Structure 1
């Protein structure tokens, strides 16, 4: 409200004035402060009086000083201004506005966060002549792209799952592949040709009918836009895609790959409509899929999703989902102190006290595992196996875990915790007391070691740096944006800190990891690892593939080319009124399944 900003401008002119203290001011001073004519200044002051923000006793005559008293607190109006900006769905500007104010101790921002939490959650609203069920959902991440071929972050992946479908889908536990846009499929005896039979009657959000031509376009576009993207080693080995008819499509692979069907269940393989170059260029901000929700708007970081009325698997219960992206840290911190959160669904939270009693919590099936890999191509001290061993000993994982905040953080020595051997050498991470002796005997001469990671893992990198410093190892941290981390820029570092999500796509994710390690292992190791990965992808038996992956991991761990740090279990918390909770990939809730039990009927 503009009048509110005029009042705040006056308060800025008299920063030491307290409420109700008389202030002498000429009308010229007041007009200059409000940047307006004398007549408009009088009108503005009169309106502020009607709002009971101030009192003004004008004195007639040039140079006479009027008496001004401020009645409304500056903080209340600053907060009201930020709330009004946020109500107009410009959350980022509201936060920026508060950050630019003199907010001692962050009191205003804390009050704004508390108010904002009440805006999230389930609401039944009347819009026009319709009553709609609306879920306003906080997501403390920046959304860069909703194009399945060009996404990098978990938040983007979650929204893509609401907007798109694949040919097939994976069960949450990763045990089976189910039909989706394809109602059936078959593979020939050579295991190189896969044929999919497509559903009839499926339409994209813009009304276009889904056909085999869209499947062909999707994968040709993916290979063109993301030749080195996530799981590129699967789709780059597609030799040809053929449309047998508009409901049948056939993939021919260069070689048998038993991970091909699993890849098709990932949202990297989500089906997009055939489009021209102009549509393709803007697809990340104007996505069109076949999923249970369509993107109805995207302004100021607020993504409005509306239910797809004609969804082939049945319309969702919610009418609208508003995803408010990157508001602040509150989306993961509400409830951490035990207070009752004001919204009904939260991801990746740690609840204690009353909040943990009021909300139900689901432990997500997947875990996040943090680890470090060694870049042997850099001519540095870590080419020496003895120094790598000393570095391993220097990392006191137990101490690092104590310093971490989060939910269920544990020591680990494997990407396969269900098979994890309780080895004293690997799990007794308090053996860092041996580090100085091992370091002295290793030949380390104080050389600086560079550790590269993405900005999101800066705090983990600092823990590693602190532990190394205590042992006498000099470590520098280099932060590289996630979208650039797989490129050449990371190869200037000695160590790479990253994480892998161990979910229903664990095989794919570990092969992706080991293939990325090929770029910074010794040439002889590269050839051997590449040979073994190629061999395991042709194995039809899943247990044999698992054994091979575990053997590769064990050898990398034993040579300290792969250093495990810890793993973290995540939880989704939700209010008891929420029904239909089911978790998809990465443990996120599928909005299509959600519905809310009215408060009156929830009392029993």
Structure 2
């Protein structure tokens, strides 16, 4: 790699001059080395046919220097060499976090395809299976209470366990760390009975004290966290012997058990956390199927935890690599994104093949290495994508900006991009939608899906994970100009690309608040408002600041909601957050509607209350849905053991790969 860097330095100094005359002393000065070393470097470059060097001997004599390859080709070769050596940090380091230049993309793409995905080797008679996944989002913490990114949540879900769990989108609550549970007092007092001899990754055995500590920590956490309303509803947690825990709620809540299935309710070891919570986020210890072997800025390595109580994972090792740039629809870009996993162009499943059987690739078709919302993955084997929202006539208004998905492996549904008002006509209640095909196996869900295309001669199958991504805008009606109903109606109409009924309202300057991942959506909103005559200032803040009182100093807020198995929990959290920047009348209505929903025992009953709340907020122009896009999974038939988690993520514990006859395991 050093020779590559020396070439780039030399080209930067002399590359623009065609053939140039230089002395060996000048070359040595450029490369910051001795004359002897400079001569050695020049010889190696000439032998590799990177340069032409016409040597002229003698002190002060000038030799001819010309370049036979481009710096982009050398940079691509340098990155490919880093990939071949397994130098993860060298991959991103060579590009310094930026998008690669056009000349090096094809070679880099080929190198990355070869590096990522499933790899198998045999060592001392034992088969070692490794899965390598590229992500765009940098992992900051693996503390279950402090994860803010989808990629972090994906990892946490494989490192930790909760008391109970759910599988394959089913509403059934299954045993996890607790093998049995019961409640009395109309659902306010719960007792959980723990499995015996469950080990943490550091060898300690799980006891009731760890569970009590985890819930007390959750309950007393000072900052706002996702589903914090459920943690604050816990009055106390106490141990009832070494293998039983009692949890008393302030008020019975129908979503308490589903909350315990989320990663936020993961059980953490009491003793380990006493060493310091920031340290725990970097060196987490859980009871999950994988333990964290390495965690850094560019690389997270998971290794199978053999004593796992539900059975050892088939994958021995999972390497999650941070590569901050992406390529979407043929365009490479860097910067912030709400899409954690990479989607890679070229040769993937074909969207049109599912529609008309033509097999022709649509423009900008793509083969995902990994999907939009975490864990939907595996180069040449398994992928997850998000379908594009339908376009409008204006190109600028057409961009739904779905964060890197919307590519060929996904087949857009008719609901994609429709407004909430349109979707409501004839739609099933959300609760019913979650219980339709969500409980079926991956194999059953693919029936009738048709072909998703071919890759390497294999036909892709498609499974619907029943997961959607929704972007929307809410208003601050507690203070500021958006308290005026007429102005709200006009602004929401402008966001929808139409004029408000009854003429335009007064147009005061507006401020829009969001987080870095939604920067492009914010730019789209700003442009739409300004074309309708409004002045709009966009404020980008951290996730932590966005959760605080900063919202009260702005007029509009841009949110995102993943509609998955935890959708009702997410909606409770969302509407409680919205009520904090709502007028007193709206706040009272929201709190009462959520209280009624919390008392409903069935998903359908809760959906009815939540749908009514959404309809009211839309009618009063306090909520505007920008677009909604479905997330789908495509995979090759050779991938086995597919199971989906809460957000439609693939469960890495159960995934396995039969031997590839065309690529036998590497032997050491």
TM-score (norm 2): 0.77
- CA distance in 2 between counterparts of 1:378 and 1:438 reads 24
Residue 280 of structure 2 corresponds to residue 269 of structure 1:
no
For residues 175-324 of structure 1, the aligned pairs below 5 Å read 175-225=171-221, 227-274=223-270, 275-324=272-321
**Change in CA separation of 1:74 and 1:503 when aligned onto 2, cut-off 3 Å:** closer
1:335-381 deviations in whole A, cap 9, x for unaligned? 4833656542333344439973333332221212222211012221x
1:187·1:195 contact (CA, 8 Å) conserved in 2? yes
**Change in CA separation of 1:470 and 1:513 when aligned onto 2, cut-off 3 Å:** same
Aligned to 1:518: 579
2:97·2:325 contact (CA, 8 Å) conserved in 1? no
- CA distance in 1 between counterparts of 2:231 and 2:269 reads 18
For residues 344-355 of structure 1, the aligned pairs below 5 Å read 344-348=381-385, 349-352=405-408
Q: Aligned-pair distance for 1:88?
A: 5.6
SS at match of 2:315: coil
- CA distance in 2 between counterparts of 1:172 and 1:159 reads 18
Q: Aligned-pair distance for 1:43?
A: 3.4
In structure 1, stretches of 5+ residues that fail to align are 398-431
Aligned to 1:412: none
**Change in CA separation of 1:135 and 1:226 when aligned onto 2, cut-off 3 Å:** farther
- CA distance in 2 between counterparts of 1:180 and 1:190 reads 23
SS at match of 2:76: helix
Which of 632, 643, 647 matches 1:582? 643
1:174·1:505 contact (CA, 8 Å) conserved in 2? no
Q: Aligned-pair distance for 1:118?
A: 2.4
Aligned to 1:7: 7
- CA distance in 2 between counterparts of 1:536 and 1:70 reads 71
In structure 2, stretches of 5+ residues that fail to align are 328-341, 347-362, 369-378, 386-404, 410-450, 664-668
For residues 68-147 of structure 1, the aligned pairs below 5 Å read 68=65, 70-87=67-84, 91=88, 94-95=91-92, 97-98=94-95, 106-126=102-122, 130-147=126-143
Q: Aligned-pair distance for 1:298?
A: 2.2
1:205-237 deviations in whole A, cap 9, x for unaligned? 111111111101111222333552111111112
**Change in CA separation of 1:222 and 1:90 when aligned onto 2, cut-off 3 Å:** farther
Aligned to 1:536: 597
1:66-121 deviations in whole A, cap 9, x for unaligned? 34454555333222223334456565654453369997x53224532342132111
- CA distance in 2 between counterparts of 1:601 and 1:58 reads 48
Which of 9, 33, 37 matches 1:36? 33
- CA distance in 1 between counterparts of 2:97 and 2:320 reads 25
SS at match of 1:136: strand
Aligned to 1:400: none
Aligned to 1:357: 454
- CA distance in 2 between counterparts of 1:293 and 1:102 reads 32
2:300·2:319 contact (CA, 8 Å) conserved in 1? yes
**Change in CA separation of 1:29 and 1:128 when aligned onto 2, cut-off 3 Å:** farther
Q: Aligned-pair distance for 1:534?
A: 3.1
**Change in CA separation of 1:355 and 1:15 when aligned onto 2, cut-off 3 Å:** farther
2:167·2:646 contact (CA, 8 Å) conserved in 1? no
Aligned to 1:409: none
Aligned to 2:494: 394
Aligned to 1:325: 322
- CA distance in 2 between counterparts of 1:346 and 1:157 reads 18
Aligned to 1:369: 470
- CA distance in 2 between counterparts of 1:54 and 1:173 reads 59
**Change in CA separation of 1:166 and 1:58 when aligned onto 2, cut-off 3 Å:** same
2:138·2:322 contact (CA, 8 Å) conserved in 1? yes
Q: Aligned-pair distance for 1:144?
A: 1.5
SS at match of 1:206: coil
1:338·1:356 contact (CA, 8 Å) conserved in 2? no
Aligned to 2:352: none
Q: Aligned-pair distance for 1:202?
A: 1.1
- CA distance in 2 between counterparts of 1:513 and 1:136 reads 34
1:118·1:343 contact (CA, 8 Å) conserved in 2? no
- In the alignment of these two chains, the number of paired residues is 558
Select between 77-86 and 269-278 the one with higher mean Cα deviation: 77-86
RMSD over aligned CA atoms reads: 2.8
1:291-343 deviations in whole A, cap 9, x for unaligned? 11111112442211111111111111111111112442141243483365654
2:15·2:67 contact (CA, 8 Å) conserved in 1? no
Q: Aligned-pair distance for 1:177?
A: 0.9
Aligned to 1:551: 612
TM-score (norm 1): 0.85
SS at match of 2:245: strand
2:136·2:324 contact (CA, 8 Å) conserved in 1? yes
**Change in CA separation of 1:357 and 1:264 when aligned onto 2, cut-off 3 Å:** same
- CA distance in 1 between counterparts of 2:13 and 2:535 reads 51
2:83·2:111 contact (CA, 8 Å) conserved in 1? no
- CA distance in 1 between counterparts of 2:618 and 2:253 reads 26
2:471·2:627 contact (CA, 8 Å) conserved in 1? yes
- CA distance in 2 between counterparts of 1:73 and 1:528 reads 65
Q: Aligned-pair distance for 1:388?
A: 1.7
Aligned to 2:429: none
Select between 576-585 and 110-119 the one with higher mean Cα deviation: 110-119
Aligned to 2:376: none
**Change in CA separation of 1:497 and 1:530 when aligned onto 2, cut-off 3 Å:** same
SS at match of 1:587: coil
1:89·1:299 contact (CA, 8 Å) conserved in 2? no
SS at match of 1:207: coil
- CA distance in 1 between counterparts of 2:530 and 2:54 reads 67
- CA distance in 1 between counterparts of 2:23 and 2:85 reads 37
Q: Aligned-pair distance for 1:129?
A: 6.9
